[in-house]
Chains A and B, each alone.
Chain A
């Protein structure tokens, strides 16, 4: 109960509202702005709030900025969610193996993690996308390549510390099978801190995807906020709003996700303080 209260404190509520807002925008995109958001449907470079048909104006090719923004929300959330899933799965598998098997396997996996943490992850992502070709899958993989080390390390450390707890010894003395101890008894205890990383991963994924799109390496088949900023950059002296609006959308989304993550973290800490 207390954990739930902690979650819905100030930041948690704001975060929930921001993320829910973006999610609703993404869901309503086909309703509010049906058709292809990349269609050229208006006079170019209409300023925001001057034409009721294009509340946020149009870009230099005459595309509806609001439609692009709504459809961009969808692309952003899909990349964030898919990258989070991929990252958590890889991180959990590797962290579990390293933590439970130990020895040479642990050593090798941790050196691998060191290697991935020593490379500039964005340049790695650039290299991967430019070699594999830009697509939703390659963007998701590129983001996960740089992110999986965090959950892997956290999970491994958590497992190592849990393994020293006496309850694991108690199960061994009872004669419980080692695999059963590892997966049924230890792993569930180790997961909560990893889950709180989910928000960090989503936020990071959104930022990396935006940067990739900004450089023209995003998913070419959908509107993305990063690509909108890049598009606006060509006319940023005369129409800075074209770059400003999608940037604000990114800030709001990432802010919401981070607030949610902080709140989840507080809630889990409060729960563990009770234990």
Chain B
């Protein structure tokens, strides 16, 4: 029995701001053997990141009280961040220094901890960049962070973390800011590197499914406390604690059969797009974001649109609601030529065609109360008499499951889930027939995400709405869509019923997206 790498006993972290104090971490204990792999799973505010910062000695110096003990028995208890513990953070853009080359940022770790000269260190930086799979690593060393893609930046961050040959790697949501395909590549890379160098790994994540493939032990946290610590398979197959079960139920299983069976929908399509095209920029820089898209949305159905970042999904959404003017093509809504509408006629049609945006906070005017936000559409479209507006606002709040007490709050006084409910309520206020939902749940915690998806489902059933549901996450699409369109480079590359797409994907991209989704169960081979 070797000494454990890390023993954490009764760790607590308290943030103080003036008279207020927040207990972010409360009595956390665990051990990690050398080469062991642990996932700390929790939603925002669970304290998981504070644990990671405490382990790496990165808690702010002032305004923080740390209790309990962190010991490193096999490292002789003198542990140095960067040398013995490497850390990778969530946002690869902001966590790299924008004005230094990536080569220097990797090399300086080797200079600091391995005592190399700058020349030796830049050679080593080149090797490391190659090991993390960057193309032409020696040219890349001279690049600046803004010249790299998100995935490449995260590879650089990984090279920095590994430069001094640490014994433990702490990865704080390392793939959350990346799209599905890149995420899968980074996960694979992390796994391979950790195995090659017998590196211990602590993965901080909100995603139980992601943890599933990467670690042996899972520790679930909620409001600063450990809920349960179990082998990851046991945690997923037979969770003992109620909170873990909530998390697990909220987690979308990419291997489950599609939630909706294709139904035969009568009548002419509610929305028909044909040959829709839109580009940005001129000359060599021109990018055709939407390139000849034909689609229909039937009454009462949910059409899921899935694709990677830059595939043109959001541009498509903005064309449909007339935030952008297409260069070519037609948009027919309830049999009317939408592009011919101007002025008052356009305003009338807009009432029937609404959109819910991706970032629930950014989509709400920070200076407007919930009451004012929800009254605006009522006033603009005038379908509710002024005396009845108050009642209508309360009705809308009720409809999206919010208490009427929230009517006088400002957006920053609401939680993320509440904000997105207000966004949905606002879109519903003008009694639309079609809702364009642009990544409506991608910025939300899993348990909140499940609630919002349920709400959208209820509303659709009650009001007979049609949805055009855009997401980068194939598992979300699987959970909501009747039919699915897969988008790449501005084109629809595959279109079919959810059942057909998920059981018999024909386009390579569709297959790649489905395969890249983290699995809840080990695949039967």
Across the interface, which residues of A come within 8 angstroms of B423, CB to CB? 170
Q: What's the tally of chain B residues with a CB closer than 8 Å to chain A? A: 29
Contact with A along B399-436 (1 / 0, CB 8 A): 00000000000011000000000010010001000000
CB of B366 within 8 A of CB of A275, answer yes
Q: Is A171 an interface residue (CB 8 A)?
A: yes
B359: which of A166, A171, A172, A173 is its contact (CB, 8 Å)?
Answer: A166
Measured CB to CB, the nearest residue on chain B to A172 is B323
Tell me the complex Cα distance, A10–B351, Å: 52
Q: With A175-B381, A176-B376, A189-B367 in contact, do A170 and B347 touch (Cβ < 8 Å)?
A: no
Majority SS at the chain A contact face? helix
Q: Which of B318, B367, B426, B430 contacts A188 (CB 8 A)?
A: B367
- Is residue B346 contacting chain A, with contact meaning CB distance below 8 A? yes
Cβ of B398 to closest chain A Cβ, rounded Å = 21
Q: Which residues of B contact A (CB under 8 A)?
A: 318, 321-323, 346-347, 350-351, 354-355, 357-359, 362-368, 376-377, 380-381, 411-412, 423, 426, 430
Contacts known (A167-B364, A171-B376, A175-B351); A275 close to B412, Cβ less than 8 A? yes
A144 shortest CB reach to chain B, Å: 29
Known: A173-B321, A274-B412, A275-B412. A185 touches B351 (CB 8 A): no
11 A-B residue pairs with Cβ-Cβ distance under 8 Å, sorted by A, are A166-B358, A166-B363, A167-B363, A170-B364, A170-B423, A171-B376, A174-B377, A174-B380, A176-B376, A176-B380, A188-B367
Quick check: B367 and A170 within 8 Å, CB to CB? no
A165 near B: Cβ within 8 Å?
Answer: yes
- Asked if A169 CB lies within 8 Å of chain B CBs, one says yes
- State the CA gap A175–B362 with chains docked (Å): 18
Within the complex, the shortest CB–CB distance from A186 to chain B, in Å, comes to: 9
Give bound CA distance, A174 to B378, whole Å. 10
**CB-nearest residue of chain A relative to B350?**
A175
* Band of interface residues on A: 10 to 19
Please give the distance in Å from B26's CB to the nearest CB on chain A. Answer: 25
Complex: A173 Cα to B432 Cα, angstroms: 12
> Would you list which residues of chain A between 161 and 210 have a CB under 8 Å from chain B?
165-167, 169-176, 185, 188-189
Cβ-defined contact, A189 with B323, below 8 A:
no
- Return the chain A residue nearest B413 by Cβ: A274
6 additional A-B pairs beyond A173-B323, A175-B381, beta carbons within 8 Å, are: A165-B362, A166-B358, A169-B318, A170-B355, A175-B346, A185-B367
Among A170, A176, A185, A274, residue most surrounded by chain B Cβ atoms (within 10 Å): A170
Closest to B353 in A: A173
**Bound: A171/B347 CA distance, A:** 11
Can you name the residue of chain A whose Cβ is closest to the Cβ of B349?
A175
Min distance, Cβ B18 to any Cβ of chain A, angstroms: 8
The smallest C-beta distance from A270 to any residue of chain B, in angstroms, reads 11
8 Å CB interface, A15-70 against B: none
> A167 with B365: in contact, given A173-B321, A175-B380, A176-B376 (CB under 8 Å)?
yes
Least distance between A3 CB and chain B CB atoms (Å): 12
Q: Which residues of A contact B322 (CB under 8 A)?
A: 173
* Cross-chain contact B357 with A166 (CB below 8 angstroms): yes
A 206-250 binary contact with B (CB < 8 Å = 1; else 0): 000000000000000000000000000000000000000000000
Who on chain A is nearest to B368 by CB? A185
B-facing mask of A259-275, CB < 8 A → 1, else 0?
Answer: 00000000000000011
Q: For residue B162, give the distance in angstroms from its CB to the closest CB of chain A.
A: 34
- A181 nearest in chain B by CB position: B365
Q: How far is the CA of A237 from the CA of B411 in the complex (A)?
A: 64
Contacts of B364 in A (CB 8 A): 167, 170
**Inter-subunit contact B366/A169 (CB<8 Å):** no
* Bound CA–CA A139/B144 (angstroms): 49
Q: A185, B365: Cβ atoms under 8 Å?
A: yes
Evaluate contact between A175 and B365: CB separation under 8 angstroms: no
| A169/B357 contact (C-beta < 8 A), A175-B350, A275-B412 known | yes
The CB with the most chain B CB atoms within 10 A, among A171, A175, A185, is that of: A175
Distance between Cα atoms of A174 and B379 in the complex (Å): 10
Task: Give which listed residue, A174, A188, A274, contacts B376 with CB less than 8 A.
Answer: A174
**If the complex has contacts A274-B412, A275-B412, are A173 and B355 also in contact, measured as CB distance less than 8 A?**
yes
CA distance A130 to B376 in the complex (A): 54
Residues on B with beta carbons closer than 8 Å to the beta carbon of A172: 323
Inter-subunit contact B359/A169 (CB<8 Å): no
Distance A169 CA – B318 CA, assembled complex (angstroms) = 9
| Minimum distance in angstroms from B333 CB to a CB of chain A | 14
Distance of B418 from chain A, by nearest CB (Å): 15
> Is there contact, CB below 8 Å, between A174 and B365?
no
Question: Does A170 contact B380, Cβ atoms closer than 8 Å?
Answer: no
Distance of A269 from chain B, by nearest CB (Å): 14
